[in-house]
Chains A and B, each alone.
Chain A
Amino acid sequence: MKKAFTVARWEFFEKVKSKTFIISLFLTPAIIIAFSVLPTLMATGESDTTKAIGILDLTQEYFSDFKDEIEVYKLKSSIPAYAILNNFKPGLTADSLIKSADAMVIENKLDGYILIRQNGADSVKVEFRTKSIGNFQDIARFEEAFNNLRIKRKLVAENVSPQIIEFIKQRINVNQVKIEKPGEEGKGGFEMVFFSSIIFILLLMMMIIYSGQMLVRSMLEEKSNRLIEILISSCTPQDLLFGKVFGLSTLGFTQVLVWLLIGFSLIGAAIVPISSFDNIHLILLYFILGFIFYTTLFVGIGSVASTEQEAQQITSYLSLLLVLPSIFIISTLQNPDSSLVKIFSYIPFTLPSVMILRVNVSPIPLWEIAVTVLIMIFSITLTIKISAKIFRFGILYYGKMPTLAEIKVWLKD
């Protein structure tokens, strides 16, 4: 056991001193922050220039009222958000009007235009035609403006009093509130939960992949220069395996610690809200368990590689297994109690990331936490046993990759 710690200390200090580690230590959080904060900033950030919007009203019924409704929207500096232009000219066919309006958009004279035409006897069809689609805010505003206009007209025609019209125009939005304990509201909406979960899952994945690759590569070095023979004539393969996993885990947690410190200092700067760290103890628990599980797996399976390509193959397959649960991020968030999500939170490969997500989305009963943690501990013990056996043979295995049949023989020995 003493020798395992010697190995762990070596693995830790040699890697901590390396340039790649120091770079990744600061580069990774920078990337994550860029990925998680920038889209939010960009999505909510308003455009600060007035947009030139045309209206081509082929029904000739809505233009002036619609214009008034849209011009209600102002930019921060109380300048109108939209400058409205009438694209309708009498005496021209609908087709030529649409073509000339399209041309104005293409030539950048307009940011886009709204096309209103009759759709059957009692309905109209409205299109916002623009070069770049995807601005949800504009669409939402045009939609609201047009619907308000239609409802108001109909009600006026039916002689409804103006007060009632105002009442109907007022919209009520439904807000989502997360409950953690009776009477206690959780903070943060969907985006918040989404981003804080993503941060930790991204962290976990990047860390596992990064240190997994480092591990497999260093084993490959030891194998190719036969240092491995000196190592295992000095300590047992179990010592070596334990030392490597322990050393790298310590390294990983040093990394997380630094990242958390960066995270907390960003809370101070109000970039990352404190609610991202509400369930930090549970998140860290699953994080650590997941990390140890995968690292052990990497050591065992990685030990059979004897060329750089094989090592890359092995690490990318394992990483794929690891990234798999991220497919379910959205569905987990939308429906954390679905049976699929439940199943994945009992499979050791997906358990850590799914649980990190679930912990953030909805409160989890204590028994489930206990069961999942036990599953992880059991799986880790099992992988250590299996990995140690594969490792013992794998580190002395050169040439082509061993077949499953060969590995079976190793496991029996």
Chain B
Amino acid sequence: MLEVKNLVKTYGQLKAVDNLTFAVKPGKIFGMLGPNGAGKTTTIRTILNIIKPNSGEVLLNRKPVTPELFNSIGYLPEERGLYKKSKVWDIIIYFAHLKGMNSSLIKSEADKWLKKLEIPHYKDRKVEELSKGNQQKIQFITAVIHNPELLILDEPFSGFDPINQQLIKDVILDLLDNGKIIILSTHQMDTAEKLCNEILLINEGKEVLSGSLSEIKQKFGGNHIKFSYEGDVKFLSDLNEVISFELYSNEAEIQLKDDIKPEAFLRKIIDRVTIKQFSIIEPTLNKIFIDSIKNKN
């Protein structure tokens, strides 16, 4: 279990992380969400002992994270990059050595992972000759090859095509079955919604929401509908029944006032726009994210 207690990190006047407390249990994916500049990366760096917090502590299985624990942590940073002129195989071996693996194990593990991510034929190629997606796969391998107990993935799916996103998702779920502690930091709410059991939403260094996904949805509550449409729905902002709404390309997600019946609302709008589909829903994580951040501001 990873425990973060009362973490504070300031840069001059700016409080990048402001008294953050949370715990991550093994076997569940913990989603760390938040807008740009919310303090996610700083929190991750503090957990990794890359930077020192001003106060607070980080415990992995009740032990503070010190260089001795480095070998049991894997990290995929948001900004990717590898030594461009070096060979794929050499890089994997190098990082595995840095994580304290012994040489005999490294080779079999490296082969296993290259096969698992469907790129064994690139092993003798230089990184710069690979496509961006394949470079990311190499970096993913360097984060997991040493079988870490704690795995921190910062935007692991960005830059992958849908097929490879699925591949990476499967690999992550696989790791979960082995009892890993996994922290996933992302902006992709639909991914987070599908993968994460626990959510921590932060903004300006502070906790905004936390708990299991279902709990959060319950707590957020409200009367939500979604419909797909053709035409113009600008009139939604003039309706008294609507608390807030989010528009997607041809879909609208709406929070209605609690005493409004969805079918009554449907009757009211059906003459003004062509409705192709209408459903009563739980709020999506995306809506929760946007509303929570907007309310705070």
Contacts and interface: CB of A to CB of B under 8 A. Distances in A.
Interface of A: 2-3, 6-7, 10, 13-14, 18, 221, 224-227, 229-236, 396
B100 to A, nearest CB: 8
Interface string B68-98: 0011010101111111111000100011011
A233 B49 contact: yes
Contact of A225 (B73, B79, B98): B79
A396 B98 contact: no
Given A232-B50, A233-B48, A226 B98 contact: no
B51 A396 contact: yes
Contacts of B67: 235-236
B79 A230 contact: no
Contacts of B71: 234
A142 B49 CA distance: 79
A230 B95 contact: yes
13 contacts: A3-B97, A13-B90, A14-B83, A221-B84, A224-B81, A227-B81, A229-B45, A230-B142, A231-B98, A233-B70, A233-B73, A234-B71, A235-B98
Contacts of A18: 85
Contacts of B82: 225, 227
A234 B100 CA distance: 9
Top 9 A-B pairs, shortest CB-CB distance: A225-B81, A233-B48, A234-B98, A226-B79, A6-B97, A226-B77, A10-B94, A229-B77, A236-B67
Contacts of A10: 94
Contacts of A6: 94, 97-98
Given A18-B85, A230-B95, 6 more contacts: A13-B90, A221-B84, A225-B80, A226-B81, A233-B48, A233-B75
Given A6-B94, A6-B97, A234 B70 contact: yes
Given A235-B70, A235-B98, A229 B80 contact: no
| Of A225, A229, A232, A236, most B-chain CB atoms within 10 Å | A229
A383 B67 CA distance: 23
Contacts of A2: 100
A7 B98 contact: yes
Nearest to A10: B94
A227 B99 contact: no
Contacts of B142: 230
Contact of A396 (B50, B75, B100, B143): B50
Interface string B89-118: 010001101111000000000000000000
Contacts of A13: 90
Contacts of A227: 81-83
A234 B49 contact: no
Count chain B CB atoms within 10 A of each CB in A221, A232, A234 and give the residue with the most. Answer: A234
Interface residues of B, number: 29
A221 B86 CA distance: 13
Nearest to B84: A221
Contacts of B97: 3, 6
A214 to B, nearest CB: 12
A226 B75 CA distance: 11
A403 to B, nearest CB: 13
Chain A binding site: helix, strand, loop or mixed by DSSP? helix
Nearest to B99: A234
Interface string B59-71: 0000000010011
Contacts of B78: 226
Contacts of A236: 67
A62 to B, nearest CB: 73
B167 to A, nearest CB: 22
A7, A227, A232: most-surrounded residue (chain B CB, <10 A): A227
Nearest to A227: B81
Interface in B22-61: 45, 48-51
B50 A14 contact: no
Given A6-B97, A10-B94, A233 B81 contact: no
Contacts of B77: 226, 229-230
B95 to A, nearest CB: 7
Contacts of A226: 77-81
A226 B71 CA distance: 19
B65 to A, nearest CB: 9
Which of A7, A10, A18, A221 has the most chain B CB atoms inside 10 A of its CB? A10
A95 to B, nearest CB: 71
Given A6-B97, A234-B95, A229 B81 contact: no
Contacts of A234: 70-71, 95, 98-99
A219 to B, nearest CB: 12
Contacts of A225: 79-82
A389 to B, nearest CB: 13
Contacts of B51: 396
A232 B95 CA distance: 11
Contact of A233 (B50, B80, B83, B86): B50
B137 to A, nearest CB: 15
A227 B78 CA distance: 11
A10 B87 CA distance: 12
Contact of B75 (A7, A14, A224, A229): A229
B231 to A, nearest CB: 46
A229 B48 CA distance: 9
Nearest to A231: B98
A412 to B, nearest CB: 13
A400 to B, nearest CB: 14
Contacts of B86: 14
A408 to B, nearest CB: 15
A227 B71 CA distance: 16
A221 B83 contact: yes
Contacts of A233: 48-50, 70, 73, 75
Contacts of A14: 83, 85-86, 90
A189 B248 CA distance: 87
A396 B50 CA distance: 9
Interface in B151-202: none
B203 to A, nearest CB: 23
B169 to A, nearest CB: 22
A13 B83 CA distance: 13
A2 B67 CA distance: 13
A98 to B, nearest CB: 67
Contacts of A232: 50
A168 B94 CA distance: 79
A387 B118 CA distance: 42
A227 to B, nearest CB: 6
